[in-house]
Amino acid sequence: MTAISASQVKELRERTGLGMMECKRALQEANGDIEKAIDELRKSSGMKAAKKAGRIAAEGVIVTRLAEDGSYGVMAEINSETDFVARDENFLNFSRQVVDRLFSAKTVDVDALMGSELGAVREALVQKIGENISVRRAELKQADSAIVGSYVHGNNKIGVLVVLKNGSSALARDIAMHVAASNPLVVRSTDVSADVIAKEREIYSAQAAESGKPAEIVEKMIDGRIRKFLAEVSLVEQPFVKDPDVKVGDLVKKAGAEILSFTRYEVGEGIVKEQVDFAAEVAAQAGLS
């Protein structure tokens, strides 16, 4: 077998971004021919990316982009496996490319996006970083005679798009910031679905039944709790984060505006993360050896 020097491994690592042992093995299989090693690694890169795609990517960032006139905006969640990679400049640059492409095309078709040359960019990044990377979802907000505002929290883990009628860009951003902080369920209480209300009523009924109070009192208690719940989850009923003495609805009304819609993304929400028991895993592997 051809002897592989440290300088050869170093050069291949610099040219491919792969790990030391992988580069050394590729050079050994190519009898020290760096160009041949690169060709073989390129052939296997698709397979490598597919293997890594099975890993759960629940970290990452939320990225937004708005049109200068506020006429539309896009938001996307791009995931990685670890928070360390989510702060890597290569990953952040890829995330910006994703949003820029969605913004230019005014689309949220993530599958089509990954079917373009940007999919190859993702695969190359997966190979270089060694983690699964995925574009999970995207949102497009646009409306005639309306202002789209956005806010991304400092850690890039929470992002919001808001659409205001007759509002200003500053107000739209303030409302988006409030949504990021307070996480309302709907714009107004009438937007809460009957199923959600029924579920809450069932919970409150079970709690109130244990009070031992008369049925008519219990019913009033339940109604009161439902009203409180609706106020808490409705954006326009919430105290504004920058001035708790003012409700969001009153703030917007005073400005002669109206909240048409909002979308809030939080990194990893809804993803079931795999909990690994490393002690058990080691023990299992020891038992197989």
Judge whether 6-51 and 59-192+234-266 match in fold.
no
**Average confidence (pLDDT) over 103-114:** 93
The superfamily in CATH containing domain 59-192+234-266 is Elongation factor Ts, dimerisation domain (3.30.479.20)
pLDDT in tens, 131-185: 989 999 999 999 888 999 999 998 899 999 999 999 899 999 999 999 999 999 9
Q: Which range, of 51-65, 85-99, 192-206, averages the lowest pLDDT?
A: 51-65
pLDDT in tens, 247-273: 999 999 999 999 999 999 999 998 866
Answer yes or no: is pLDDT of 221 > 60. yes
pLDDT in tens, 49-77: 666 666 778 899 999 999 999 999 999 99
Output the pLDDT for position 275: 52
Alpha helices in 136-214 (DSSP H): 169-182, 194-209
Answer yes or no: is pLDDT of 48 > 90. no
- pTM, 2 dp: 0.77
Answer yes or no: is pLDDT of 289 > 50. no
Task: Compute the mean pLDDT over every residue in the chain, rounded to the nearest whole number.
Answer: 88
Q: Please choose, from the candidates 96, 70, 60, the residue with its C-alpha nearest in 3D space to the C-alpha of residue 173.
A: 70
Angle between helix axes 89-105 and 117-129 (nearest 10 degrees) is 170
Q: Which is higher by pLDDT, 281 or 9?
A: 9
> Which tokens go with 10?
């170093």
DSSP string computed for 241-252: TTEEEEEHHHHH
Report the CATH architecture of 6-51. Orthogonal Bundle (1.10)
Answer yes or no: is pLDDT of 110 > 70. yes
HEC states along 103-135?
HHHCCCCHHHHHCCHHHHHHHHHHHHHCCCCEE
What span, in angstroms and rounded, lies between the C-alpha atoms of 177 and 227?
25
Answer yes or no: is pLDDT of 125 > 50. yes
What span, in angstroms and rounded, lies between the C-alpha atoms of 159 and 75?
8
Ordered strands of the 258-266 beta sheet: 146-152, 158-165, 258-266
Q: How confident is the model at residue 209 (pLDDT cuts 50, 70, 90)?
A: confident
Answer yes or no: is pLDDT of 288 > 50. no
Where are the domains positioned within the chain?
A: 6-51, 59-192+234-266, 195-225
Output the pLDDT for position 42: 73
Answer yes or no: is pLDDT of 199 > 60. yes
Q: Please choose, from the candidates 128, 136, 131, the residue with its C-alpha nearest in 3D space to the C-alpha of residue 53.
A: 131
**Average confidence (pLDDT) over 229-233:** 94
Q: Which range, of 17-31, 71-85, 169-183, 271-285, averages the lowest pLDDT?
A: 271-285
**Tokens 């009898």, residue?**
31
